[in-house]
Structure 1
Amino acid sequence: MNKLLLVEDDYHLGLILNDQLEMNGYEIKLLREPNKTVETLLEESFDLVIMDKLLKVMDGTQVCEAIRNTQGVSNIPILMMSGLDGAKETCIAAGANNFIAKPFEVDSFIKSIKATIEKTKDFQN
């Protein structure tokens, strides 16, 4: 079972995504404080980080860049999501491995997660 870190400060969206991911067989840790993402990654092992670009405390691209600049967790796959125009390019430039535009269907979301984990497995070994 893949363990995912879901960084989402929107209360309701976090619960919805958490439940959907658990129903699809993933172990989830829901993190409501984006500024604790790197610390959490250093303390626990995850197969993927999923985060929104728009977070209340800081932009998800800042979190993504911090992960990429932290030894020991810099290679973890990151899937970012956003409903903003042009966000894909910004997220990928910040170091995200993959991007999904909101709104999305659950099936598309799960496929993006699987693709991101599979695509990055070869680079982590």
Structure 2
Amino acid sequence: MKKKVWVIEDDPDIGEVISLLLTDEGYDVSLFPNATTFKESLPNADADVMVMDVMLPDGNGIDLCHGVKTSTSLAHVPVLMMSANKGLADLNGYYHADDFIAKPFDIDEMVRKVRRLTV
């Protein structure tokens, strides 16, 4: 059975690259372009891992991550945060993400991190 990856990314080009990359690696990818559509889908969340951008047009990925990690039904889902602000990697413990990747990211590193989080 394919592992499910939810990707929250507002840049359509980056979202498409991540989706194609992970689909080619055998993952079932659901792409959310903003915080609103992501939040609307949470009641039916079936993700094995979530990849979240920090800066979103209608919200903040750090707040979304905190919400997932403090939810009794979703706290077990690993979260990979991504941002062009490399300094956020030092705050991983603060927002409870399981890992961080800086943009622009190396595609092999993205695959390795997602694979590690879905084992």
Assess same fold via TM > 0.5. Answer: yes
Q: Which runs of 4+ in 1 moved over 6 A?
A: none
In the alignment, the residues of structure 1 paired with residue 73 and residue 54 of structure 2 have an alpha-carbon distance, to the nearest angstrom, of: 23
In the alignment, the residues of structure 2 paired with residue 85 and residue 47 of structure 1 have an alpha-carbon distance, to the nearest angstrom, of: 25
Report how many residues are paired: 118
The offset of 1:86, in angstroms, is 1.1
In the alignment, the residues of structure 2 paired with residue 25 and residue 96 of structure 1 have an alpha-carbon distance, to the nearest angstrom, of: 23
- Farther off after superposition, 54-63 or 84-93: 84-93
What is the 5 A alignment of 1:46-61? Answer: 46-61=47-62
In the alignment, the residues of structure 1 paired with residue 17 and residue 86 of structure 2 have an alpha-carbon distance, to the nearest angstrom, of: 23
TM-score w.r.t. length of structure 2: 0.89
Which residue of 1 is the match for residue 116 of structure 2?
Answer: 115
What is the 5 A alignment of 1:25-64? Answer: 25-64=26-65
The offset of 1:80, in angstroms, is 0.7
Identity of aligned residues (%): 26
Which residue of 2 is the match for residue 101 of structure 1?
Answer: 102
Partner-residue secondary structure (3-state), 2:114: helix
Amino acid at match of 1:32: P
In the alignment, the residues of structure 2 paired with residue 36 and residue 65 of structure 1 have an alpha-carbon distance, to the nearest angstrom, of: 17
User: Aligned in 2, Cα 1:93/1:115: closer, same or farther, shift over 3 Å?
Assistant: same
Partner-residue secondary structure (3-state), 1:110: helix
CA contact (8 A) 1:67 1:74 kept: yes
User: Aligned in 2, Cα 1:39/1:74: closer, same or farther, shift over 3 Å?
Assistant: farther
Give structure 2 stretches of 5+ with no counterpart: none
More strand by share: 2
The offset of 1:35, in angstroms, is 3.1
CA contact (8 A) 1:42 1:72 kept: no
